[in-house]
Structure 1
Amino acid sequence: MAAQWDSSKNAPLTPDQVTARSKKEVWWRCKHGHTWPSAINKRVRGDGCPYYTDHSNKLGSVAEERPALLEEWDYTLHKACKDLLQCVNQSGGNGQ
């Protein structure tokens, strides 16, 4: 978990200055580069990057998780979107 501590956004605070039970909200960065604020005790309990756990954004990972589906994407119909992820984000996560 310390590897996900966002040092630049949390400065001058460092991980060795807080405890696992702390309710202090700090910034985290996942391995994909997403940043989000979360209380330390919530992270210790297992809360992770909301990009992957928030159901409204879950469809946004289709391009990463199931790239074969991109072959079925109708780019002509959805010409305003550069890619599947952008369209999903513009529609509020429902893919319509």
Structure 2
Amino acid sequence: MAEETLETAAARAAHCNQLGLAASIQFMGENVRDEQEAATATAAFLSICDQIAVRGLRSSVSLDLSHIGLALSADLCAEHLAQICEKALSTTRISGRKR
């Protein structure tokens, strides 16, 4: 969803769902310069997962590994990716049922 805020992206995803379409939400950006930027991006992706769950959306989250720290450290990126994957798995809906 190409929107300016998570709230509007989630609303647009909900509208797509009402039309029978799945959605994908992404926090735009890449190639962060420091660990704080990578942590901020990771927090944004975790918030996206929360919104998908709270709203019961049929949506995925899309990200670029460089946005969560790959250019800084493979270990840092792996840590952030694990957090996002754990959150996504805990909030995933499969066939309309929460996992």
Q: TM-score, normalised by structure 2?
A: 0.24
Higher helix share: 2
Which structure is richer in relative contact order (CA contacts within 8 A, separation 6 or more)? 2
Q: TM-score, normalised by structure 1?
A: 0.24
Bigger radius of gyration: 1
